[in-house]
Amino acid sequence: MKFLKVLYLLVGLAIIFAIVGCGAAPAAAPAEEKPAAEAPANAKKEYKDLTVCYPQLGAESDWRTANSASLKETAKELGVNLVFSDAQQKQENQISAMRACIQQGVDVIALPPVVEDGWDAVLTEAKDANIPVIIVDRSVSADPSLYAAHIGSDMVLEGKKAGEEMNKLLPEGGKIVELSGTTGSGAAVGRAKGFRETLAKNIEILDSQTGNFTTAEGKPVMEAFLKKYAGEIDGAFIHNDNMAIGAVEAMKAAGLKPGDIKIVSVDGTRGGFQLMIDGWVQADVECNPLLGPQVMEMALALANGEPVERETLTKETVYFPDQAAELLPSRQY
């Protein structure tokens, strides 16, 4: 009898347990990985989210090398994804690089245009793809509605400064030659224009030829001038330091001495400073290539739909031989 009572008790307890046990919540399934909350569509981009296309025009000069380094170093510091290419001074290569960036769907295109004309079609394609474009360094002749802004130098002002320095160097007037930059580039067009606006009436420009902003092409241009105008040349306006280096090589080969021809150059690179220290160049108009920080700051603003200045001109000065030796060690390019 007693055995039966214990059995009934055990069975009852088992039934109760079974009921309570079933009522317990099943072991929780491993929590589903909740998808990370999607960033709200209107979340502000940060530099690390930014992809900027920089279809660099070439590597023709120390200025250009410094400009490329500025963009690359700034992008690296900020964590920006930079899509960089070198067009070897060919506009068709820049346009192809831009089209690849449009296909890629970059956030912003920063374009350093090799020449002023021929950009309307590809700028329209970028606009149709809702990709803002910043024109960097040289200018374009395209409709301003096709790009967001320009960051760079006032090339006409640089030319005007060069004309004023040439006037001081040749107060009694004289005859000069011009080694101009890449034909059709905003830098060459602007510098030539500004130079002629300020040049004194008693200074005659005997000739002007392009040296395409390179040392290798500047040297033969000056060689030809020295042959054609032997002994007539009092001064030279040279649109960048690299061409001035080539021109001085030609002058040395022709037996000229520092100061025989008064030279006004442009850029203010270390090479230009050395030419001033050695007495070959009498004034060097600054043109600043270190545009990386300004470009990236503007690119982020554009990517976030924020308003930006249409025109940002770099503040620049003129350097002279009497300060060149002291400043050379601190030059960044």
Of the ranges 57-65, 127-135, 166-174, 227-235, which one interacts with ligand GZL (CB under 6 A)? Answer: 57-65
- Cβ 245 to ligand GZL shortest distance, Å: 11
CB 150 within 8 A of CB 186: no
Q: Which is nearer to ligand GZL, 182 or 282 (CB)?
A: 182
Candidate list 169, 177, 187, 295; residue touching ligand GZL; CB under 6 A? 187
Candidate list 154, 217, 267, 284; residue touching ligand GZL; CB under 6 A? 267
Q: Which is nearer to ligand GZL, 59 or 254 (CB)?
A: 59
Q: What is the rounded CA–CA span in Å between residue 258 and residue 294?
A: 38
- Cβ 39 to ligand GZL shortest distance, Å: 39
Candidate list 287, 301, 303, 324; residue touching ligand GZL; CB under 6 A? 287
Q: Does 240 bind ligand GZL (CB under 6 A)?
A: yes
- Cβ 105 to ligand GZL shortest distance, Å: 28
Site for ligand GZL in 139-158 (CB under 6 A): 153
Of the ranges 42-50, 56-64, 125-133, 162-170, which one interacts with ligand GZL (CB under 6 A)? Answer: 56-64
- Cβ 129 to ligand GZL shortest distance, Å: 26
Q: What is the 3-state secondary structure (H, E, C) of the chain?
A: CHHHHHHHHHHHHHHHHHHHHHHCCCCCCCCCCCCCCCCCCCCCCCHHHCEEEEEECCCCCHHHHHHHHHHHHHHHHHCCEEEEEECCCCHHHHHHHHHHHHHHCCCEEEECCCCCCCCHHHHHHHHHCCCCEEEECCCCCCCHHHCCEEEECCHHHHHHHHHHHHHHHCCCCEEEEEEECCCCCHHHHHHHHHHHHHCCCCEEEEEEEECCCCHHHHHHHHHHHHHHCCCCCCEEEECCHHHHHHHHHHHHHCCCCCCCCEEEEEECCHHHHHHHHCCCCCEEEECCCCCHHHHHHHHHHHHCCCCCCCEEECCCCEECHHHHHHHHHHCCC
| Residue 295 CA: distances (Å) to CA of 132, 287, 310 | 12, 16, 12
Q: Which is nearer to ligand GZL, 64 or 262 (CB)?
A: 64
Q: Does 280 bind ligand GZL (CB under 6 A)?
A: no
Q: Any idea what the Cα angle at residue 68 is, between residues 65 and 73, rounded to 5°?
A: 120
Per-position x/- string for 205-234, each x denoting binding to ligand GZL as judged by CB under 6 A, each - no binding: --------x---------------------
Of the ranges 43-51, 59-67, 116-124, 250-258, which one interacts with ligand GZL (CB under 6 A)? Answer: 59-67
Residue 37 in tokens: 């909350």
| Site residue total, ligand GZL (CB under 6 A) | 14
Of the ranges 58-66, 161-169, 249-257, 322-330, which one interacts with ligand GZL (CB under 6 A)? Answer: 58-66
Residue whose Cβ sits closest to ligand GZL? 63
Candidate list 56, 61, 70, 294; residue touching ligand GZL; CB under 6 A? 61
Q: Does 51 bind ligand GZL (CB under 6 A)?
A: no
Q: Applying CB under 6 A, which residues contact ligand GZL?
A: 60-61, 63-64, 137-138, 153, 187, 213, 240, 242, 266-267, 287
